[in-house]
Structure 1
């Protein structure tokens, strides 16, 4: 039938499973939200629990790819030893991550960082490309389950994806290198709008002097630069990355007689 996926795979097995034999794979799962677990415990009832989606690991244990908060609540409930589950068998760990993405992609609860790490585990082409671009610059996405900030870490997945699509891998890598070099102690250096703005300048100005750009940015507080750009945006319109590009061009060109850089086209 047209418009209907007929490759539905094997039907899951329905069973009650001991909570002690179920674990969470932290390589792609989102961090546990204690408030959500507490809410489930407070209002616990089997009629609202549903079934967990589990992967049979073949050794008597299971991993949960949908329902980890319900699992945590059931594990802590003094009257529960087993939970209802739909059990599937997958060949590879990346298939498990793909299943997690498939279940959660259209839910507002999944963040872009969670989507990124699940995508890496699943071998998603877009996420692997983002990883390669950041790795080339010595940068990384915030690891799952941690909020530890660092100048070379970012959570701006969507912005980086847009920048790569518009300006290419090399320009985005150069932008990340520049931002970390300019604000080496600023945990917010890898801001998504700044990455897009500077990648645009690298793509459109082959003679851009990276050392000069780093020096000019280093002499400007990032938050003040962002505020200045926002003021420009309110006066002239456009989006935040465009306004930042304009502000950075102005800083870079100040005092130059030759070799001025330009904003250039977005694509």
Structure 2
């Protein structure tokens, strides 16, 4: 249970909830982030192309003494509405403002109070929403006897739980469900009964090994993986990265693990 905080006196004026014409809503570049970036433009086009009122949270808007309305939070939604051309007003939470400096302080506070969803939380929500990709990942994990952990806190993990959602998604999108299933199974067998503390670091190398050597060498992949502790694989991957400073961790994992399996297969009678 969350402890009761020491309460300070309420500040500010209670906001009003209003629908305001989009033409009345302005942006102050003095404190607002630019939306002239590729990422922002992609997001604006995505919102505009598939507008969903269920997802349109009220914009945070400041009303200055002269009555002008400036958006503190929600300019992507505003820009998407303007781009569509068939949306004429938007829901707004309107608070009193003394001017740009006052709004800038509120802008900072709004963004500092926002807690970003973790990949685990997004994955669980995607499952509930019926995402095909999320269900394919869960199926691959379940076939290997694995599951997604409830939190990123390593102290709470149980044996067979994973958190590397981004790596699982990348594997599925790049190589398909068959490779994802084989990679999950190889790791599950190699580290059976263990807390998979370094699975996210090791997994890209397992995927690369499965892609290169295929099902016919699955037993060797599993034997080589299980021949070292997870922490030893982590150290090998870190050494590969240190020896190749321009290499990212995924490539370092591929180099370390695929290299070890290549050696084992070459030594095989």
What's the TM-score bracket when you normalise by the shorter of the two chains?
Answer: 0.5 to 0.7
**Correspondence 1:253 to 2:262:** yes
| 1:122 alignment partner in structure 2 | 129
**Correspondence 1:180 to 2:188:** yes
State the alpha-carbon separation in 2 of the partners of residues 132 and 229 from structure 1: 28
Pair 1:206–1:235, CA change in 2 (3 A): same
Q: CA deviation at 1:143?
A: 3.6
The 8 Å contact of residues 152 and 189 in structure 1, kept in 2 or not, is answered as no
The 8 Å contact of residues 116 and 157 in structure 1, kept in 2 or not, is answered as yes
State the alpha-carbon separation in 2 of the partners of residues 121 and 210 from structure 1: 33
| 2:243 alignment partner in structure 1 | 235
Q: CA deviation at 1:114?
A: 1.1
| 2:7 alignment partner in structure 1 | 42
Deviations 1:175-226, CA, capped at 9 Å, x for gaps = 1111121112321267223222211221232365122222222221111211
| 1:133 alignment partner in structure 2 | 140
Pair 1:100–1:113, CA change in 2 (3 A): farther
Structure 1, 147-156 or 161-170: larger mean CA deviation: 147-156
What TM-score do the two structures reach when normalised by structure 1? Answer: 0.55
**Correspondence 1:110 to 2:117:** yes
State the alpha-carbon separation in 1 of the partners of residues 149 and 9 from structure 2: 33
Deviations 1:148-188, CA, capped at 9 Å, x for gaps = 42232111111211121122211111111111211123212
SS state at 1:253 partner: helix
- Residues matched between the structures, number: 177
The 8 Å contact of residues 164 and 172 in structure 1, kept in 2 or not, is answered as yes
State the alpha-carbon separation in 1 of the partners of residues 56 and 164 from structure 2: 19
| 2:101 alignment partner in structure 1 | none
| 2:165 alignment partner in structure 1 | 157
| 2:67 alignment partner in structure 1 | none
Q: CA deviation at 1:102?
A: 8.2
The 8 Å contact of residues 205 and 256 in structure 2, kept in 1 or not, is answered as no
The 8 Å contact of residues 120 and 148 in structure 2, kept in 1 or not, is answered as yes
The 8 Å contact of residues 154 and 191 in structure 1, kept in 2 or not, is answered as yes
What TM-score do the two structures reach when normalised by structure 2? Answer: 0.54
Bigger helix fraction: 2
| 1:244 alignment partner in structure 2 | 253
Q: CA deviation at 1:101?
A: 11
Structure 1: tracts of 5 or more residues without a match: 1-31, 52-98, 260-267
Deviations 1:78-118, CA, capped at 9 Å, x for gaps = xxxxxxxxxxxxxxxxxxxxx69989xx9543111111111
State the alpha-carbon separation in 2 of the partners of residues 138 and 200 from structure 1: 21
Deviations 1:24-73, CA, capped at 9 Å, x for gaps = xxxxxxxx7x26xx34x63474869989xxxxxxxxxxxxxxxxxxxxxx
Structure 2: tracts of 5 or more residues without a match: 17-53, 59-110
**Correspondence 1:200 to 2:208:** yes
SS state at 1:109 partner: coil
Pair 1:213–1:206, CA change in 2 (3 A): closer
Decide which structure has the larger Cα Rg and report it.
2
| 1:87 alignment partner in structure 2 | none
